[in-house]
Amino acid sequence: MHNLIFLLTCLLLGAAFRQSSLLKGNAHETVNQLLLYACLPAATLIYASEVHLSSQMLVPVLMPWGLYIASFLFFKILGKWQGMHRHSEAALIMTAGIPSISFLGFPIFELFYGEEGLRIGVLMSQAGSFMAFATLGILTASYYASSEPSLKTVLLNVVKFPAFPALIVALWLNLGQIPLPELLKAVLQKIAAPFSFLALFSVGYQINFAGKGVLLKYLFAGLGFKLFLAPVLVWFVIFFIAGQRGLVAEISVVGAALGPMNTAAIIASQYGLNPPLASAMVGIGLPLSLLTVLPVYYLVHYIN
């Protein structure tokens, strides 16, 4: 419950500051810079250096990666059919393709499945949604933000992304089984701590529906995929194609039903990929998914 109150408070604070004269119109850009150059690299070093994979946990780890690819294909086709601007297409791919596992998923998994559910959720977040965002998400943003995208341009933008060096160092530490020094880890945790508040505040600050008829149309498509089609796709693949059953399979489907990762909206905004649409996807999708995830849980639990 406290996560929901925190989420709504941050979004409302951002919206309230936008309506007031306390901050200038583009104040969210400063907040985003803090997120990208301080909080996100710190979080990357912590999470990516500590993740441990096992063959038994491939399903929850691969779920966010497969979901992102499905989102890319879905909105690529929809975008061509609807004549969608490439920036809107990218915003939908990024926000509808990555679920908010750590922010929304952890308390939900613990509530439904106890300590074991939380343990699976941590792995799904670290090696799944977070790593998918740090690689596929950044590649998508770089590709769609370039007016004339080329392999060299895209790769250069990825390398220059602030969290990329942190990811490389973290993977080196991980593969070498070198733990972060406790003092450094404690400092990084303090730097990464404001991430959720700042990200949600920035999202709330950027939500603006004034004269946005097309925005609502795309928002309907994005949330329709994220909250309804995504869990159905994951359920079908895991239960019927892969033939998996049990707790791990069930949690993977519930995870797919969660709202969009707030970081995806921040990156879309930073790259100029229809920031109002990306912000609305998170600002509406996160609280709405708290309602839609309940029937998903009961249906999957009953079928399982």
What whole-number distance in Å separates Cα of residue 107 and Cα of residue 103?
Answer: 8
Range in 70-74, 171-175, 230-234 the model is least confident about: 171-175
pLDDT reported for residue 122: 75
**Confidence at 109, pLDDT banded by 50, 70, 90:** confident
Position with higher pLDDT, 301 vs 62: 62
Query: Considering the domain 2-303, what is its CATH architecture?
Result: Up-down Bundle (1.20)
pLDDT reported for residue 51: 67
- Work out the average pLDDT over 204-214: 64
pLDDT at 81 over 70: yes
Bridge partners for 260 per DSSP: 99
pLDDT reported for residue 69: 96
**Confidence at 260, pLDDT banded by 50, 70, 90:** very high
pLDDT reported for residue 10: 83
Of 29-38, 133-142, 202-211, 252-261, where does the model show the most confidence? 252-261
pLDDT reported for residue 55: 64
User: Beta-carbon neighbour count of residue 67 at 10 Å?
Assistant: 27
* Contact indicator for 102, 110 with CB cutoff of 8 Å: no
* Of 31, 27, 278, the residue nearest 145 (C-alpha): 278
pLDDT at 232 over 90: yes
What whole-number distance in Å separates Cα of residue 97 and Cα of residue 93?
Answer: 6
Position with higher pLDDT, 136 vs 290: 136
- Work out the average pLDDT over 191-196: 83
pLDDT at 211 over 60: no
pLDDT reported for residue 135: 84
* Of 241, 260, 257, the residue nearest 300 (C-alpha): 257
pLDDT at 291 over 80: yes
pLDDT reported for residue 53: 64
* Contact indicator for 35, 195 with CB cutoff of 8 Å: yes
Please give, one letter per residue, the 3-state secondary structure of the chain.
Answer: CHHHHHHHHHHHHHHHHHHCCCCCCCHHHHHHHHHHHHHHHHHHHHHHHHCCCCHHHHHHHHHHHHHHHHHHHHHHHHHHHHCCCHHHHHHHHHHHHCECHHHHHHHHHHHHHHHHHHHHHHHHHHHHHHHHHHHHHHHHHHHHHCCCCCHHHHHHHHHHCCHHHHHHHHHHHHHCCCCCCHHHHHHHHHHHCCHHHHHHHHHHHHCCCCCCHHHHHHHHHHHHHHHHHHHHHHHHHHHHHCCCCCHHHHHHHHHHCCCECHHHHHHHHHCCCCHHHHHHHHHHHHHHHHHHHHHHHHHHHHHC
Angle at 227 between CA 200 and CA 64, to 5 degrees: 80
Residue-wise pLDDT for 8-50, tens only, equals: 788 788 888 878 877 776 777 788 788 778 887 888 788 777 7
Task: Give me the residue spans of the domains in the chain.
Answer: 2-303
